[in-house]
Amino acid sequence: MPARIPRATYRLQLHKDFTFADARRILPYLERLGISDVYLSPPFQAVAGSTHGYNLVAHDRLSAELGGEENFRALASELRSRAMGCVVDFVPNHMGIAGGENRLWEDVLENGLSSRFADFFDIEWQPLKRSLDGKVLLPTLGDQYGRVLENGELKLERTHGRILLRYYERVFPVSPKSLTPLLERATRLTELPEDHPDRMEFESIALSARNLPDAADSDLAARRTRAREKEVLRRRLRTLSQSSAEVGAALDAVIAEYNAPDNVDLLDELIQRQNYRLAFWRVAGEEINYRRFFDINDLAALRMEDPAVFEETHGLLFDLVEEGLVTGVRLDHTDGLYDPLGYFRALQERRARQAGEEARDLPLYVVAEKILEPGETLPDRWPIHGTTGYDFLAQLNGVFVKRDVEGDFSALYRRFTGETQPYEELLYEGKRLIMRSALASEINVLAERLERLAEADRRSRDFTLTALRTAIIETIACFPVYRTYVRPDGTRERADNGHIEKAIRGAKRRARELSPAVFDFLAEVLRARDGRYLDFALKFQQVTGPVTAKGAEDTAFYRFARLVSLNEVGGDPGHFGMPLEDFHKEAARRANKWPHAMIATSTHDTKRGEDTRARINVLTELHDSWVAYLSSWGRLARSYARDVEDVRAPSLADEYLFYQNVLGAWPLDGNFDGFADRLVDYMMKAIREAKRFTSWTNQNVEYEEGVEAFVRGMLADEAFTRDMTALHERVSPYGAQNGLSQVLVKFTAPGVPDTYQGSEVWNQSLVDPDNRRPVDYAKLEEFTRQIDGGQDDKIGLADRLLQAYEDGGVKLLVSHVALNARREHATLFSEGDYVPLDAGEHVVAFARALGKQAAVVLAPRLTLTLTKGQAPWALGDGWSDLSVPMPTSGTYVNVFTGEQHAVGRGKILRLADVFAHFPLALLIRA
């Protein structure tokens, strides 16, 4: 049986204040809205207090904070009773390792290479730094290790029969074998006679610790012996220390000796015998020897290519799928996997075996978080249903940018900020910066592996480690996509060699001081035609994605502020919008290749809410006014900016960024409570991500204080707020039109439309955590009832909501009505052809056609230009004699107004008639 395909999903962010039970309570509203499937953030057990669930610590348990299995089952049961589905976010790439809650990771720390989970995590057990052989580097200390130790911040403690190492709130396991000297000393300190049973048991325990297999002994038999014997030893020690006061007292006395200020060497010796090395957090960038999710030390990557890891982590997920409690899966960060295609196949094959079917039918609905660069396509052979929609988001957003003013905007940006570098150059610099800092250790590991390969060949053995490292850095900095997809069997995607060649050409051009032969060698290795090179090519692929994400989304996006609505995940700020014909080509391709891919306009990870972007896009229709406002604000800013160590705070680029975001997030409802705090929080994140004058790891407090003072000063300045109010009033309805048009396109285009929580009304949010604020579902439910109650006078209802557009009711109307049209004509929208229509430059126009069924979508764009700013909405005669060619003759009903439009043999429909009462149309052929 093929997978259950969602009709429309609704993303919910789960956390301790919005649980499974809360999700269950809003199901009647979501069903009424027109949603077919809830789409949950990761529901599995995460680190305590997690606000997002991506730092999960156990794949085999549902989150207790979210309500546990009982409440999840209640939610799933309610969904099933409503014929609704449940798509869950699943994290195959990494696990959270903070707080001692991850039993797999804790076992690795305790037992090192002899842990049965040693191969689960992507750990370089033999790194370049030989002192780390067989150890895991833990960069958790707030200062140099020696200072921390000598300050008495590291202490042994005895808890529940276990001896642990504590560093403030963080507790680390201690290798049982390393406790041998401590236990032997404690036996000598006991006041029990030598022939006392408790003393003899204590001595036996100490001997058992000494006889445990060494942690470096990693063969399967030794692992099993150690795992069994250490648990026996632990139980015996716990039982004895609880039953014998003398043994407990002896243990406490020896622990006190180890913790004594004059016994630092004793404690140091024990710590050195652990299977991990505690280190200052700042060394992580260069020396950490486990792969992470990006540069987050508390998220350790898994070796999902290992079948044992797959089985360990997917048992509960497939139990829930088999019971029908989970009907689809969204996969997080699959570009981090060693072999994404192999993983996707394993998922579908596991589900097929479970259901007794063939995997070729794709029995499980799966979408993958895959960021596609402009022009890049998803590999055809991937057994998934598509991406999570960032590609669609960027394409659709680009349609609402007036492209012919790119030169004017570029010149204005240069004049105001003094910034002359194109985005491509900033991206290159951002990626190089990341490889020199946050992800330097990953580059070091690659360089060492490449050096080993070079040394094995007489033609390359003279290449130095420095030269090879430089070649890797330059090639990744020039890489045109997030990653390539070489497989363990040596096969690859068709486009891979082209991406490699382009990167190598760019790297050679930029690093002319390096011999081209070094780059040629790297290119040969990356093509992996020689089996010796295959593992390196596979590991290299796992690094290019994080470098690109950190270098682009978390660096260059905050340095290049020409038009910040384009600085979005899945987009390229260097591309100034998208031509309509290109948007239609992409939509038609999606209908043909990936008809069930998820399509989105906002997510938990977008840099701005969909309506924030939609409003900022209007600036491209107001160039001259924008110039005038900037000139005025630039003069005002002199009163609030300050010099910090010869640097202006904020820089002119940061100031330019600030103005656009203020306009984009300016509250439609006039409620400014907390607005300044939101902008301060946003600007702090922006300037730290930009890494020019401050950063997360090296905070420049004076610069940050200067920026905060500027933000608060400007937002309290009467002249500035008067100007911004005036600009907002001028821009706002056209931004709202963009917002309405883009959701109409989303709900009717090929793909599965997703609504991010609360985005059925205006979403004027900024980057997280601003986009994760609570949603008032009671208000939305009441709104929906009012809309349903007004269906007797659809034109009047639409007009009332349009005139009061600030409250978001009109967007809810569009969302609700379009979603229900999709429900009523489900096959048309899920399987119908996509037919572009030419209604002129001011309308995104297309038809969905299936047999005799047809729907026509008319979504206005660039309406400030169309109306010359003389009317807030493009209605009636404002469309003059413009028309749209219809796909077939017949009678069409506009679902928003109820109006019928007869289309004769000429198959032409006047836009003035279609938009007589409402500036959107979804026409269903009767």
User: Spelled out in words, what is the top-level CATH class assigned to the domain 9-93+302-388?
Assistant: alpha beta
- Amino acid 214: pLDDT: 84
If phi > 0 it is left, if psi is from -120 to 50 it is alpha, else beta; for residue 417 that is alpha
Q: Which class for 261: exposed (0-12), middle (13-18), buried (19 or more C-beta within 10 A)?
A: exposed
Domain residue ranges in the chain:
9-93+302-388, 99-120+144-282, 446-559
What are the beta bridge partners of residue 365? 328
- Amino acid 222: pLDDT: 78
Q: Is the CB of residue 44 less than 8 Å from the CB of residue 53?
A: yes
- Amino acid 227: pLDDT: 86
- Amino acid 562: pLDDT: 98
Measured CA angle at 598 (ends 805, 357), to 5 deg: 145
For residues 118 and 105, give the distance between their C-alpha atoms in angstroms, rounded to a whole number: 8
Structure tokens at 326: 């989970």
For residues 848 and 852, give the distance between their C-alpha atoms in angstroms, rounded to a whole number: 11
Structure tokens at 562: 């020409």
Please list the rounded mean pLDDT of every run of 10 residues in the chain (926 residues).
94 98 98 99 97 97 98 98 98 96 97 94 90 94 97 95 94 96 94 92 93 82 84 93 94 96 96 97 91 95 98 98 98 97 97 84 96 94 98 98 98 98 98 96 95 93 96 98 97 96 98 96 94 96 97 98 97 97 98 98 97 99 98 97 94 98 96 96 98 96 98 98 98 99 99 98 96 95 94 96 97 98 98 97 98 97 97 95 95 97 91 98 96
Q: Which class for 406: exposed (0-12), middle (13-18), buried (19 or more C-beta within 10 A)?
A: middle
What are the beta bridge partners of residue 40? 12, 88
| pTM beyond 0.85, yes or no | yes
Element (H, E) at 891: strand 890-894
